[in-house]
Structure 1
Amino acid sequence: MGKPKETTPAPGRYPVDSGEVELLRDLDRPNGWLLSMAGVPQSYVDLEDPTYLEFEYVRLMADVIDVIDEGPLDVVHVGAGACTLPRYITATRPGSRHIVIEPDGALVRLVREQLRLRSVPSLKVRVTDGRAGAAGLRDASADLFVLDAFTGAVMPLELATAEYMGDVARVLRDAGTLLVNLADGKGLAFARRVVATVRGTFRHVALLAEPGVLRGRRFGNLIIAASPAPLPIATLARRAAGGLTQARLLADDDLTKFVAGASPIKDGDPVLAPTPPPDLFT
């Protein structure tokens, strides 16, 4: 029998458990699709070329993934959207296995039906929140833990605490890597506290971002890479600086200066998560 015919995605607005998302075709790439919510871009996928990464912060995450030891990975994704990184990792590291933790079941169904999620091998989705999902994972079961969860444009605070980072550390293997995508703006007060929280759990931590974001001049994404084992800092810095994003990397003493006495976030702490300027995505 021949290969089943794949469904052509249909652009439009779709109801999901958390509200409504919009699926938009990329007019410049025939197989490119953007998933957005309330005007905030959430995910971009190219259905024929999963190695094409549209968003700058996703390219930075891929830079970290690419320097992990060669071979297939066991990966946990908390908040994967349209599953851009699972597709990328599967294409660049065949044989990788993925557990995707996503609380919005209707969004998962939409991505399966419209964006060919079933074509990604060895991918399992657990419809639950990030805290419960991590609690249900086995000790030392993951090589990579990707935390890219947002409610609209805001990172859920319960996924930024010391208690949650402790659970993530339990799930990672001894040489495993944590990747965190967060967003912040002027002053970077939230980013400093999240970095302090991660450093309280993981011995080796680096921060990557576009220079304007890292200086607090504009709202944008910052990527934290952390591991119980040493990170290839020099290699990562070269890749980040030489890529399209031309990002900077902070580690060691530079990262200590960046944190500047910020305290880790604990469950129940009153923390104001940053929100983007209203015109950022227009």
Structure 2
Amino acid sequence: MKLPEPIILSSGLTAEVEEDRWVPGSIQLLVDGTPQSHVNLADPGELFFEYIRRIGHVIDLFRPDGAPISALHLGGGAFTLPRYVEATRPGSRQQIVEIEGALVDLVREAAPLPKRASIRVRRGDAREVLQRLPSGMQGAMDLVVVDIFAGDRTPAHVSSVEFYELIRPLLAPDGMVVVNAADGPGLPFVRGQAATLSSLFGSVAAIAEPQVLKGRRFGNVVLLATGAGAADSERDAERDAERDASLDWLPRLLASGPHPARLLTGREFTDFVRGAAVVTDATAVASPAPARELFERG
């Protein structure tokens, strides 16, 4: 497999695509040495990273099996999830927002998107692009995935309530936001994201490996948010009740793995968030960087 040469991104970080020596026919995208994405080119329906598999199971369960969806992916990487959606829900309409145009070109050269797929790539900062999306996307998105990293950290400006307020109007009445948040001991960043989503959405949940959720080691927590918030109209509250009945798939999400796994909802989630402040533009900070040894290559 001939792959393109590494490139320098506008951030000054190095992006490269390498073959996965353990999974034949697969590639991995690294930015500044940190694994960002993994794609099985022979089977895009197979997901590799733990947190991506958890998001994949959300996509599997939150709509009828195989039904096409409308999805917006904030953060492109190697387009792993858009490829997965196309493989498992053919006919879906998807858009990707990626700030690094050179990264888009690198990924397209290494692993072109399926020609039949309805996937549009928009280049630019996610927050800026959200403010100029076509009006037809308002209230139309079944799924918005937030998986934005500059190297190994989520930038502060895409972690605040002002940022998420730009996403909420895009969602269909029963649409869902899925956020990948990485954090270390104590989970201050993740708990802040959870509190922020809770201020805007009627139901929020968290799923991760138990030791990560306990704040004992660095890892990824997947946050799910759906439904109207407390400040919305009575009609939206009625809609919330219908939505709650439709969330009976959450136990299946936990059972789907990868294992071990823990899902926080209801009172457990409330206890998890207690004491965490809603993140605003004035208080936002980038997510913490993982220890470099987590990604050392042998």
Please classify the TM superposition score into its range, dividing by the shorter chain length.
Answer: over 0.9
Residues 1:47 and 2:41 aligned together: yes
The equivalent residue for 1:167 is: 166
For residues 43-80 of structure 1, give each alpha carbon's deviation from its aligned partner in whole angstroms, at most 9, with x where no partner exists. Answer: 00011100111100000001111112221111100002
Deviation for aligned residue 1:242: 4.3
The equivalent residue for 2:257 is: 243
| C-alpha spacing 1:108/1:272, structure 2 compared with 1 (3 Å) | closer
2:193 maps to amino acid? V
Q: Which moved more, 1:162-171 or 1:131-140?
A: 131-140
Cα distance between partner residues in 1 of 2:205 and 2:253 = 14
What SS does the corresponding residue of 1:175 show, helix, strand or coil?
strand
Residues 1:150 and 2:149 aligned together: yes
1:276 maps to amino acid? P
The equivalent residue for 2:71 is: 75
Show structure 1 runs of 5+ residues with no match. Answer: 1-7
What SS does the corresponding residue of 1:267 show, helix, strand or coil?
coil
The equivalent residue for 2:236 is: none
Deviation for aligned residue 1:16: 3.0
Residues 1:13 and 2:6 aligned together: yes
What SS does the corresponding residue of 2:295 show, helix, strand or coil?
coil
Give aligned-pair identity as a percent.
40
State the aligned residue count.
275
Deviation for aligned residue 1:274: 1.4
Match of 1:261 among 254, 262, 275: 275
Q: Which moved more, 1:272-281 or 1:101-110?
A: 272-281
Cα distance between partner residues in 1 of 2:167 and 2:116 = 24
Match of 1:136 among 132, 137, 141: 132
| C-alpha spacing 1:115/1:167, structure 2 compared with 1 (3 Å) | same
- On the 8 A contact 2:99/2:126 being kept in 1, the answer is yes
Show structure 2 runs of 5+ residues with no match. Answer: 228-239
- On the 8 A contact 2:156/2:284 being kept in 1, the answer is no
What SS does the corresponding residue of 1:235 show, helix, strand or coil?
helix
1:90-239 paired onto structure 2 within 5 Å: 90-117=86-113, 119=115, 121-137=117-133, 138=135, 139-228=138-227, 229=240, 230=243, 233=247, 235-239=249-253
Structure showing the higher helix proportion among its residues? 2
- On the 8 A contact 1:43/1:82 being kept in 2, the answer is yes
Deviation for aligned residue 1:272: 5.3
Q: CA RMSD in A?
A: 1.7
1:15 maps to amino acid? I
Cα distance between partner residues in 1 of 2:172 and 2:287 = 30
What SS does the corresponding residue of 2:45 show, helix, strand or coil?
coil
Deviation for aligned residue 1:241: 3.8
2:87 maps to amino acid? A
The equivalent residue for 2:29 is: 35
Q: Which moved more, 1:78-87 or 1:128-137?
A: 128-137
Cα distance between partner residues in 2 of 1:34 and 1:180 = 21
The equivalent residue for 1:66 is: 60
TM value normalised by structure 1:
0.92
| C-alpha spacing 1:128/1:246, structure 2 compared with 1 (3 Å) | same
Deviation for aligned residue 1:278: 2.4
